[in-house]
Structure 1
Amino acid sequence: MFENLLGIFRKRRRCDEQLSPQPSSNYDSDEDEYNDDENYAHPAEWTGAYFSNSQIDRPFNANERFVTILDQLDARVEKFRKDSLNLQEKKDYLLMSMDLIKSNELLQNMSEGEREEIMLYIQRVSSRLATVELNVRTVRDASQEDSLSQINALIDTMIKMGDPVIGRQRCQLYLNACCASTIDPNGRMGTLHEADVGPIDKKFESALLGCTLDDQKNIKKRLQALMGYLNKQTVTN
């Protein structure tokens, strides 16, 4: 029965190959966008082909074929994780945008009725966003958890300042601290001299160096997005 199923999968695979061009063998290429049907709907179709003697011209090697399949699965899992991290990052940006609106100086100058209406609107949007739960776990020890908590507290305090000029200055100090921490090709941490990146916030830098490399990258992206917003606010004011 298993051989019959493999025969069906092989026939279908040959038909698909005749109707569609061959995909690039470079999985990481931007042009190699896989679709859900290929990767999730019919897993037996692409795995079964590796266990068919008619697909190769050399003796059957089960170990090699299992490794080949697992290599492909590993690459797809990594891409899935990367896509999930991007979604999580977008959610963080939306949350940050709402925090910035709540602390905007113009909102404070509105009448009480208008301000209450806007705050209720923000609450509705926040509640809707809260229905989307994303959890891509980054492995951290207790010290790294504490460092990340310190970073989040410092950024939240900066966002709630309400003054875009002071907020921009503080954000630049934090961003300089991120740029001062460099990663060499071997993944080792290094630091640049303060004169090369501008003044930095020592407290922020100390907490940043205690975070994981993934967290450091995400923190830098978050600050860059925040700086873009604060630059616009400064020009407007």
Structure 2
Amino acid sequence: MDVDPLPGMSGGLTTSLVLQTLPKIDEDNVLSSKTPKEKLLETLDLLETHVEKLRKNASQLEEDKDALLSTLDSVMNADMMYNLEENDKDDIIRYAERVMNRCLTVEVKVLTQRDKMQEEALFQVNHLIDGLVIALKTDAESARTKCESYMNACSSNMVQGITDKIFESALLGCTVDDQKKVKRRLYGLLTYFEKMKVVSYNEVN
């Protein structure tokens, strides 16, 4: 039987500390020289800081979840899996799937506010990346090269080759948050392409 933690202990400790640091409106302080509007604006400024910190922490949790899922996937596709007996392999897969399903029960979502132009820019970027996934089935090497050119558009440090100017133009029209997510998505694709290259090399040899 699970027992809820007492206030100020374990999981409740973090919440208590956050609540303790939240600003409060002191309406009883008659000696203050600030006007009611100034007091309210000061409180809102502090609350905005907390909100931005909350968004940052939630975004980090999103990244942590993606990283965990990616690592779990790499475990299930590791070369060592091919050296296992069938029964042992089944045990590992079942264990990994159980951990993965547990990870998927965590849902963290940070919404990004966009205007119409930013929505259109993000649609174009996603359309171009989706094209990479489709091209993967017919020409993996070309898709990998194109992915590198997209990745170069996300960073001042070029991975290899050239920068795709069409993708770069669309990316610049996206919000900063979307640009970061696009970069993470491309990095994941590049990792997948490299994994495919290793598998193909092992099959040939």
Q: TM-score, normalised by structure 2?
A: 0.61
- What is the match of residue 90 of structure 1? 64
Query: Based on CA coordinates, which of the two structures has the bigger radius of gyration?
Result: 1
- Aligned pairs for 1:31-46 within 5 A: 36-37=15-16, 39-40=18-19, 46=23
- What is the match of residue 215 of structure 1? 178
1:176 aligns with 2:152: yes
CA distance, structure 2, for counterparts of residue 116 and residue 170 of structure 1:
36
- Aligned pairs for 1:43-192 within 5 A: 46-49=23-26, 52-54=29-31, 56=32, 58=33, 61-108=35-82, 110-140=84-114, 142-147=119-124, 149-150=126-127, 153=130, 172-180=148-156
8 Å Cα contact 2:153/2:163 also seen in 1:
yes
Structure 2 spans left out of the alignment, 5+ residues: 1-13
CA distance, structure 2, for counterparts of residue 199 and residue 126 of structure 1:
35
CA distance, structure 1, for counterparts of residue 28 and residue 17 of structure 2:
18
Shift of 1:219: 3.4
1:78 and 1:50, CA in 2 relative to 1: closer, same or farther beyond 3 A?
farther
1:96 and 1:220, CA in 2 relative to 1: closer, same or farther beyond 3 A?
same
1:134-191 deviations in Å (ceiling 9; x for gaps) = 111113455345345447647878999xx9xx999777554323115xxxxxxxxxxx
- Aligned pairs for 1:196-207 within 5 A: 197=158, 198-200=160-162, 202=164, 205=168
8 Å Cα contact 1:51/1:62 also seen in 2:
no
Shift of 1:63: 0.8
CA distance, structure 1, for counterparts of residue 126 and residue 176 of structure 2:
15
8 Å Cα contact 2:72/2:96 also seen in 1:
yes
Secondary structure of the residue that 1:53 maps to in structure 2? coil
Give identity over the alignment, percent: 32
**Alignment-mate amino acid for residue 46 of structure 2:** Q
1:42 and 1:87, CA in 2 relative to 1: closer, same or farther beyond 3 A?
closer
**Alignment-mate amino acid for residue 19 of structure 2:** Y
Shift of 1:129: 0.4
1:113 and 1:205, CA in 2 relative to 1: closer, same or farther beyond 3 A?
farther
Aligned-pair RMSD on alpha carbons? 4.4
Shift of 1:77: 0.8
**Alignment-mate amino acid for residue 176 of structure 1:** N
Shift of 1:117: 2.5
**Alignment-mate amino acid for residue 219 of structure 1:** V
